[in-house]
Chains A and B, each alone.
Chain A
Amino acid sequence: MASVLGQLILNGVLLGGIYSLISIGLTLIFGVTRIVNFAHGEFLMLAMYITFWLNSLQGIDPYLSFVVVVPLLFVAGLVAHRLVIHPILGAPSYMQIFITVGLSVMLQNLALFLWKADFRSVDSFCSSSTVKIVALLCGAPKLIAFAASALTTAALHLFLKKTYLGKAIRAVVQDREAAQLMGIDIHRIYLLTFGLGCACVGVAGTLMAPIYTVFPTVGVYFVLTAFVVVVLGGLGSLPGAFLGGLVIGVVESLAGFFVSPQLKEAIYFLIFLAVLLVRPSGLFGQIGAEELG
């Protein structure tokens, strides 16, 4: 039993690593621009498709396509911000929600139109290899994904703490008006943050392509999970998103085993509702952030 439990928790943590990586981008964008990006999952979908096509057309291993996908997603983020997000900064929240939902619908169906609804999968050099840790088994791609996720979080954390740009981003999170008075160009910060958030999803996309199949609505599935993670960790909090991802991963893994694999999502959605009610600011969020809407 102990080994089963251990295996379940390990699976959960590894899965959670992936959730964390998606959620970090989402939480970063929210923290800075105060916009909940409902199209976040579609950027993930794009990253996975780019990885897939690089692999099937050029034979590039998913882990190498990283160098192409991440900058591409960064640019995609910049473009999306400039065209869609920028015009509605400071608009009422219903407009912000509608516009990102519109972007999501558009990208999803653009993928459907261009690449059809087929499920596609990518193979990597280590797709079928497993690693044994003590008595527990885990797939190499998942382990790589987890390690990369932890590294990205750490790197992002350092970037925000140590560099001037990072400090400027944090200043904008605290108080956008005061930041402006200190000579920070907040629109540049918004733009960069949106690109950065999408680049995070780019990392996630390359790491997930060898694990999950790619199809036009793959983003919806993961983005709903990411919302749960982000709210649990506290919208706008990076450590919150990382830990929240692990918690949801473990919950999903345990619920899938002990309750029913079909109900695992229902369970974490209920957790989501409970968190929203009991502590809407999440584990690490700024108290009152949810009021800002």
Chain B
Amino acid sequence: MKWKRIFYPDLYIALSLSGVASVAALFVRNEFFTNLVIWTFFYASLGLSWNLIGGFAGQLSLGHAAFYGLGAYTSALLFLHFQISPWIGMLAGGAVAVLFALIIGFPCFRLRGPFFTLSTIASAEVLRILAIYFKDLTGGSVGIQVNVSPSLAHFVFESRIPYLFIAWGILLGVLLLSLLVERSWLGSSLIALREDPDAAEALGINTTWVKMVALMISAFFTALAGVFYTQFVHFIEPYSEFSLENSIQFAMIPMVGGMGTSIGPVIGSFILTPLQELIRAWLGGRFLGLHWVAYGLVLILVVIFMPQGLVGFLRARRICLPEGWRRLFLPLAPARVGREMDRLIPPSPVSSSAQEEILLECKGVTKDFGGLVALSGVDLKIRRGEIFGLIGPNGAGKTTLFNLIAGFHRLSSGSIYFGGQEISGLRPPHQVCRRGIARTFQVVKPFGHMSVLENVMVGAFCREKDPRIAEEEALKIIAFTGLEDHATLPAHCLTIADRKRLEFARALATKPDLLLLDEVVAGLNRVEAEQVEEMIRSIRARGITVFLIEHVMQSVMSLSDRIAILHHGEKIMEGRPAEVACDPKVIQAYLGEEYVLACS
């Protein structure tokens, strides 16, 4: 949205928070206070780094201590053995962490939920054990002391002030990067895959690769912070550097501040770090462990009462502002269905010569699920510019056919061609989407915590990486699908009819040649259904071929140029709507033997 570009509220909040803290540290000249500010910046950077993969992508890593420890050890060892400056060590440590991220990322990302978390814990544990074991290299459990004369080249200073500025610099660097990611196709893809990995794939997002990129960036900056720690504290050892406590700490900062936002981890650190340091100074000496008890309690209470963190909690309140307030920020005037649509996206019907071209061809498509044959030997040809309907009783295999075309399932045998090229080997689904096939889901899959605009932008990013252009395109499509009143609402607030529109809008945003619509009319009332029918026609008028599954006969008969009927996984009939409607085989499939007799 335009206003976001003007205000960047997140950036200004973070800048002023950290600026005030730095200036205060410079004036107060109290070692405890300066340290407090440095630690706050330090943990904010770590929280931001963790948040890239843990918050945006929702991949809850509790193994980030691995990257942190790798950074710390790489730089310390390079200095110890080869006298390489820690400034270069920083980059080297980052590189090692990125490499480690690559090695563990591919296997671990195949796992979901707690299994992913467990695998990250295990990775960090293995590193810790190895660091203790290879004493000759790492100094084993005794650790490494960094004892050098203070100098800029050694990254060691007498005063706290240079550390303060370096910590601030790292924080601002990570923050800017995080903001950039948040506003780019990368952030959009990460949040989308967190909300619904299948829908993200269907919109052309290579979910594995995107997660990998986020993990590598996250690992790099976590390692950077690890090097800073080494230079600041002058001592590292495997038990604490690679510890689970560290990993939990990194994750907890965004959790309290607000996961999946760039400002959240900063705020989280400004709350938690001073709290922790104060409790530690106050209780730590007298009551061993009590500050961690408080910490654990805070974590439990936050999860129960404020699961979106402080920022999420505040943002949730903002949605409730009056309608007009949100409208101020929408650059496009509302456009209604009709002539306005032509202005938004001009019609470009398929020329009559191109209509002969076969866009999608299924040859002997067969799918069995361990003995249950869902589809057997289905042949289909869909011409460019057509609206092609697919009907059949429940369990006939319609959605399975869509899943095969879109790359969600692997074919048992047969092949599928799209625009003359075979696509049946393409998997995972994002590749199919990139080729120009978009789909909607029968059970709608909105990205619930993203706004309608952000949802549609996920689709637009499939073709256009520039966020400004993607946003413009998305806004046009939102108006085209009649969602302009809801553009800034989170998708989970929409009614079912609007969610179906959103499915349309997202799929259209990927600029498909072929649109697969899975029961988009079912469940709507007659007025809503007519609007959707109108929309399908106007989509076709823009040169997009439509292949739809539908149970509502009235809609499918009036919309389709041709219709195919599936029954028990086989195509029993294909033809114009009128031919299909009075075919005995179709009546039998739908209504049973006796009705055929009654009709004839």
Contacts and interface: CB of A to CB of B under 8 A. Distances in A.
Contact of A98 (B112, B121, B244, B251): B251
Contact of A113 (B117, B244, B259, B287): B287
B299 interface: yes
Q: How large is the interface on A (under 10, 10 to 19, 20 to 34, 35 or more residues)?
A: 35 or more
A240 to B, nearest CB: 15
- Grouping DSSP codes into helix (H, G, I), strand (E, B) and loop, the A interface class, with mixed when no group exceeds half, is helix
Contact of A224 (B121, B255, B295): B121
Interface of B: 54, 58, 60, 62, 107-108, 110-119, 121-123, 125-126, 129-130, 132-133, 244-245, 248, 251-252, 255, 259, 287-293, 295-300, 303-304, 307
A74 to B, nearest CB: 21
A109 interface: yes
Contact of A269 (B54, B126, B287, B290): B126
Contacts of A94: 54, 58, 60, 259
B119 to A, nearest CB: 5
A174 to B, nearest CB: 19
A128 B232 CA distance: 49
Contacts of B108: 276
Interface stretch (A5-13, A46-54, A83-91, A129-137): A83-91
A102 interface: yes
Contacts of B115: 231, 276, 280, 290, 293
A280 B107 CA distance: 11
Nearest to B122: A269
A109 B119 contact: no
Nearest to B124: A269
B297 A106 contact: yes
A106 to B, nearest CB: 3
A181 B130 CA distance: 51
Interface string A270-293: 101100110010000000001111
A276 B111 contact: yes
Contacts of A260: 133
Interface string A88-101: 10011111111101
A106 B296 contact: yes
A280 B300 CA distance: 29
A146 B255 CA distance: 41
B289 A110 contact: yes
Nearest to B116: A293
A111 B125 CA distance: 23
Contact of B62 (A101, A106, A266): A101
A15 to B, nearest CB: 18
B297 A102 contact: yes
Given A94-B259, A263-B129, 16 more contacts: A94-B58, A98-B255, A101-B62, A102-B296, A103-B296, A109-B295, A113-B288, A224-B125, A227-B122, A231-B118, A262-B133, A272-B118, A273-B107, A276-B107, A276-B115, A293-B113
Contact of B114 (A91, A96, A277): A96
B442 to A, nearest CB: 20
B114 A93 contact: yes
Contacts of A265: 125, 129
A112 interface: yes
B300 A106 contact: yes
Contacts of A216: 289
Nearest to A110: B293
Contact of A109 (B132, B296, B298): B296
A26 to B, nearest CB: 11
A228 B107 CA distance: 16
9 contacts: A87-B304, A97-B60, A98-B252, A101-B62, A109-B290, A109-B295, A263-B129, A269-B125, A292-B113
